Structure 1
Amino acid sequence: MNTRFLKLLAFAAAMAFCLATPGAAAQPGAAAGIRSIAAESLAATPTARPYDERDWLQRFYAPRAYAPAWSEHQANLALALLQGAAVHGLSPEEYGADALRTRLDSGDPRFDTTMTRAMLHYLADLRVGRVRSEYHTALPDPRLKQFDPVEQLRAALDGGGLAAAIQASEPAFPFYARVKDALAHYRQLADEPQQDILPSAKKIKAGEPYRGAAQLRVRLMLLGDLPTDAAPVPDKLYTPELAEGVRQFQLRHGLEEDGVLGKETMAALSVPLPRRVRQLELTLERLRWLPLFGPGRLIAVNLPAYRLWALQLGGPGQEAPLEMRVIVGTAVKTETPLFIGQMRYLEFNPYWNVPRSIALGEILPKLMRNRAWLAENDMELVAAEGGQQGSNAGDDALADLRAGKVRIRQRPGPQNALGAVKFAMPNPMNIYLHSTSQRELFARSRRDLSHGCIRVEKPLDLAHFVLGGQPGWTFDSIEMAMEPGPMRKVSLAAPVPVVLFYATAMVDREGRVLFSRDVYQRDPLLEAALQAHRE
């Protein structure tokens, strides 16, 4: 029997003794084994996770002289928590929950460090997500400097409680709990017996025949768009009651709310419920990417839902006092980026400084055909170093425009693309929120129509929200400031965080589960990243 085998046998026996004897002092062999595993982890190659975990075991075990950390009772509690990871859209398999159970039951000497590593991963994944956030280009994720999973787990095992540590790791963003509840509900729906396939429909209006009326009624009741006590429908008739249920369904799925049973509505009704479950799981992952926002105002824009929420964090229930439709950047061409900014000031009756890409790609061809186009659209040329040059679009002016010596801006007024107010959040991409003179566009179901900036449906209400508490700013005074007149800049007393995020499943302030088109095709990218994480 060689020396290496004898050492391994002694290490296994010592670890098994400590596992079987909760609270017992660490045996020298057990401590040496844990020290060795921690050293191996410290020397390992960094993984692709959004955090650097290599020193976690070293920092966790060193203060306890590398003694085993898990009593049988605590281990069973931790395993139960890992088995419940699905409530957060996570998979117990990712943390080896079943294998850990086998190791615990068999007295595996590596159980203690494996259990510790799994719980540390779980805490970190809940706080920052499993793959790199689209808001952080550098690794490791800086948010774990404020939230250290090692300290969280140590405190939990010292009496703070494992369940409390899990709860402390969850994002505090108000939507997270709502989406988690929606996920549980849709999992229940997905477990129901397979629903009948709805007969196809091209364009059926209330009062017209539809041979799938009975199946449609059952589907709408299942999804909550019809009351569960809705009366049976006459045989093969698309009744006004069914049409109202369809209209509610359309509202939740970003479709035209006309109550007509058409191609897009039928496609949305036919999406398998497990796919809806997956959309909610992806949303939870994306919400874990967001930072921890402190008390105060917050503006959140969900790009594929074309929806803005103004939130008051830290108050009772953290409800959204304001919700509105928005218009975002056009898919593929001028997509609105994901980022987190700080709104710092408003401009009433703003100038629109036309981005150079728009000036050269869209306006210049129009000027080549019509030299009066600038004047007709209340635009002017401005020297790059400052100074107005007017609306003359002669050959020399166009040459200066191509050379970057002049730029184009639109004067305040009824034609101005920014409308009556601009909500500025300085950033390198020059993205901001603003009102619009094309209010009819908010009636469209698909609203990726802008060059990247975000047009808001209720600018007066949003201005009142961000100026709330500042002396002299009431609804009346804001409405007066939005009347035609000279440009006026108003600084906010405190910056308001603005988060632009992407989620194809969300829950609104009334508790309705919303599903959106994946207009920027980001869901497959996230799926691929998660798949790579699992491999």
Structure 2
Amino acid sequence: MSTPSIQRPRVLSVLLVLLFLCCGSQCYAVPSEAVSRQEHGAAPPGGSAAEGALSPRWRSAIWETIPPEWLGSPTPNTILQAYQENGWTPFFITSTFELAQGAHALLRRAGEAEKEALDPKPLRIEEVRQHVKHLEQARDSASALLPNLSDSIADLSVPSGDQPAAPGSPGIQPVNPAVVKAREERYRNLFRVAVEADVKLAELLVRFSGQMDPFSGEDQVKALSGRIPMSDYLKRLEPRSPHYRPLLNALARYRDLAANTTQQQVRAPSTMRPGESGNAVRDLQKRLRQEDFYRGEITGTFDAATQQAVKRFQAAHQIEPDGAVGQRTREWLNMPFKQKAEMIAHGINLLRQSQTRRSDRYVRINIPQFALEYYKDGQSLSSHRVIVGKASGKKVKVLGKWMRENQTPTLTSNIEQVIINPRWYVSDRIRLELDAQAGSDPQYFARHGYVQMASLYPWGQPRLFQKPGPKNPLGQIKFEFPNPYAVYLHDTNQKSLFQRTRRDFSHGCIRVEKAKHLAHLLLKDDQNPLADKTEPYLSSDRQLFIKLATPVPIIIEYLPVSCNEDGQVIFFGDPYGWLAENANAKG
């Protein structure tokens, strides 16, 4: 019975040259004896054995199998580092050439990639499964000749159970050279095929980890070398966000709706309101029932139960919950289930790539949600409404990216300073807008607390700042973080705007509700002595700069979906049109 195998060029010639090749700061050493003994069929000495796989012969098999480009990489290779830590023994193959439990766990999890909104194509799972199948076939073939199959045979030239005869010893038959050769060939093939499967499984883990958690590099080495149990590691790859699992459940639900439900369309020439009746209302009730917002009878009458269902639908789609079905509500009602599923999948992937995964304490702003959250030790300590940049404005290219001039950018930085009673330094663009507001009133700027500076705008007028006070649009608190967009987080003197559902009104900076409370939390957690002593300053117009001893990461993101505390998916949509632009760019 022939054993299928995957043919690959040997790299012995490469190893002869690269006996001690350093990749980056990591050195991967293979003894010269390992190469010469490989050619003679003997196992190389040395090397610590990992649990399960014991034979030192694994080392030469691994060195023969690894791609040459790994050795020449300018940066350390994750799998090579892990093999070195693992004593040059396999990660996923046992001493009896079977898959270890970790391999089965990895294959199961990676095999469900689509359920987690991952792209399965780059994982190349079928290729890995083929190598596993070849190992199983090689093992079955070898078992017929080698009943006590194990990698721990000390001398492969001696069949298991046979002992070489001492000179002159009666009754012991000499070893059959043909049997020895056959056994040797089977073992050689087993080691080769087993290592090929092990390398493919290791590559799968790295690819899967890269999609699940782009910041998992160090833990990949630990998982491969056994310092983190595989089941624990695979769980660790999930974001700690409380929104992750509910979004996965929502993804499954909307994919099921897209595949198995004929979506009811809602058509009406104008806004539908309570008290109306007819086929359009009947269609509305059917459509609301499809997403479980309405559970009553299909009556065709826009009654109180239907109105409450509409309000629930609007709240779940960040629409002003007025209970009437206008244009925006109709657009969301008629959005295909497939498109909603894709929006959820996009949100899940952005959640996995979020820089919030790198910190235990941070401020997170989600632009489409118009919300800020302050996290510490993985828990949300405070939530705030925010006002972000307007969706409108002419398109400009900023740092290589096209966006509209008023839009708030996504970024990652660190809040370094809190300013009490900040001055507002007027930018070039806003200065021109103020000129239009001032018109021919020569006292406008003085009356509103503006002060001329010595420096000039590009067109020659003196630059302006506005003194602290009730007319200052920064309010009483400003949070500074370095960034190339010159945006910042601040209080506001127009707090009524926080009551709006859609809150994109600024020129790009972020206005935050309950700014004093947020400042107090940041200062308190920073153990700053001024945390409980800001009131005297707030009651004056004195400007006070408070440096944080430990800057707090701030992450501004653009996630189109999330979940509320009950696990209900909330669709925020695409207020800036960025998702639509990216989809069109991809064709």
Tell me the distance in 2 between the aligned counterparts of 1:41 and 1:164: 28
Give the distance between the partners of 1:261 and 1:273, measured in 2 at CA.
Answer: 19
Aligned to 1:503: 559
Aligned partner letter, 1:199: R
* Residues 201, 266 of structure 1: 8 Å contact kept: no
2:464 corresponding residue in structure 1:
408
Q: Structure 1: where are the runs of 5+ without partners?
A: 15-21, 47-51, 129-142, 385-399
1:491 is displaced (CA, Å) by 4.2
State which of 322, 345, 348 in structure 2 corresponds to 1:281.
Answer: 345
Q: Distance in 2 between matches of 1:467 and 1:208?
A: 54
State the Cα distance separating 1:493 from its structure 2 match. 5.8
Residue in 2 that maps onto 1:422: 478
1:58 equivalent in structure 2: 80
Assess, with a 3 A threshold, how the Cα gap between structure 1 residues 456 and 9 changes in structure 2: closer, same or farther. Answer: closer
How far apart are the structure 2 equivalents of 1:79 and 1:202? 53
| Aligned-residue identity in percent | 26
* CA deviation map 1:325-376 (0-9, x unaligned): 21111231222122222223333332111123432x4234556754433124
Q: How does 1:432-471 map to 2 (within 5 A)?
A: 432-468=488-524
2 CA distance for matches of 1:408 and 1:522?
34
1:255 Cα deviation from its structure 2 partner? 1.7
Correspondent of 1:299 among 363, 374, 382: 363
| 1:32, distance to aligned residue in structure 2 (A) | 4.6
Selected match of 1:90 from 102, 118, 124:
118
Q: Paired residue for 1:269?
A: 333
Higher helix share: 1
Q: Deviations over 1:196-235 (max 9, x none)?
A: 2233352011122252434433443443434xxx3325x2
Q: Distance in 2 between matches of 1:420 and 1:40?
A: 58
| Equivalent pair of 1:124/1:149 in contact (CA under 8 Å) | no
> How far off is 1:172 after superposition?
3.2
1:26–1:68 contact (8 Å) kept in structure 2: no
Map 1:88-167 to 2 at 5 A. Answer: 88-107=116-135, 109=193, 110-128=196-214, 143=215, 147-155=218-226, 160-167=228-235
2:315 pairs, out of 248, 251, 255, with 251
2:422 maps to 350
1:194 is aligned, of 234, 239, 262, to: 262
Asked whether the 8 Å contact 1:120–1:150 carries over to 2, the reply is: no
Match of 1:39 among 59, 68, 71: 68
Q: CA deviation at 1:79?
A: 1.3
Pairwise CA distance, 1:490? 3.9
Question: Secondary structure at 1:123's aligned position in 2?
Answer: helix
Tell me what 2:162 maps to.
none
Indicate if the aligned counterparts of 1:38 and 1:57 stay in contact, CA closer than 8 A.
no
**Conserved 8 A contact 1:34-1:67:** no
Taking the aligned partners of 2:7 and 2:370, their CA distance within structure 1 comes to: 63
CA contact (8 A) 2:216 2:237 kept: no
Greater relative contact order structure (CA < 8 Å, 6+ sep): 1
User: Where does residue 324 of structure 1 map in the other structure?
Assistant: 384
Give the letter aligned to residue 56 of structure 1.
T
Q: Distance in 1 between matches of 2:480 and 2:240?
A: 26
The residue that corresponds to 2:296 in the other structure is 231
The alignment's C-alpha RMSD in Å is 3.6
Q: How far apart are the structure 2 equivalents of 1:245 and 1:261?
A: 11
Q: Residues 313 and 68 from structure 1, CA distance in 2 versus in 1: closer, same or farther, beyond 3 angstroms?
A: closer
CA contact (8 A) 1:190 1:273 kept: yes
Alignment partners' CA distance in 2, 1:495 and 1:197: 50
State which drifts further: 461-470 or 338-347: 461-470
Contact 1:86 1:92 in 2 (8 A): yes
Assess if the C-alpha contact under 8 Å between 1:201 and 1:261 holds in 2. Answer: no
Q: CA deviation at 1:8?
A: 5.9
C-alpha displacement at 1:286, in angstroms?
A: 1.8
Q: Deviations over 1:415-455 (max 9, x none)?
A: 21112322233444332211222233334343222111101
Residue pair 1:379, 1:410 contacting (<8 A) in 2 also: yes
| Residues 341, 425 of structure 1: 8 Å contact kept | yes
- Secondary structure of 2:369's counterpart equals coil
Give yes or no for contact 2:213–2:238 (8 Å, CA) kept in 1.
Answer: yes
| Count of aligned positions | 465
- Judge conservation of contact 2:421–2:543 (CA < 8 Å) in 1: yes
Per-residue deviation at 1:164? 1.3
The range that moved more, 163-172 or 263-272, is 163-172
- 270-279 or 182-191: bigger deviation: 182-191
- Relative to 1, partners in 2 of residues 1:473 and 1:149: Cα closer, same or farther, differing over 3 Å? closer
Measure how far apart 1:281 and its partner are: 1.8
Post-superposition shift, 1:409? 0.8
Give 3-state SS (helix, strand or coil) of 1:261's partner: coil
SS of alignment partner, residue 330 of structure 2: helix
Q: 1:293, CA displacement in angstroms? A: 4.4
**Tell me, which stretches of 5 or more residues in structure 2 are unaligned?**
12-38, 40-51, 138-192, 392-403
| Alpha-carbon distance between aligned partners in 2 of 1:68 and 1:472, rounded to the nearest angstrom | 57
CA contact (8 A) 1:120 1:153 kept: no
Normalization by structure 2: what TM-score? 0.69
1:203-242 pair list within 5 angstroms: 203-226=271-294, 230-233=295-298, 235-242=299-306
Please report how far the alpha carbon of residue 90 of structure 1 lies from its aligned counterpart in structure 2 after TM superposition.
0.8
- The answer to whether structure 1 residue 171 and structure 2 residue 239 are counterparts is yes
**Is the alpha carbon distance of 1:126 and 1:299 closer, same or farther for their aligned partners in structure 2, counting shifts above 3 Å?**
same
Q: Matches of 1:201 and 1:461 in 2, distance apart?
A: 46
Contact map agreement 2:421 2:468 (CA 8 A) in 1: yes
- Compared with structure 1, are the counterparts of its residues 284 and 429 closer, same or farther at alpha carbon in structure 2 (3 Å cutoff)? same
* Aligned equivalents of 2:10, 2:480: Cα separation in 1: 67
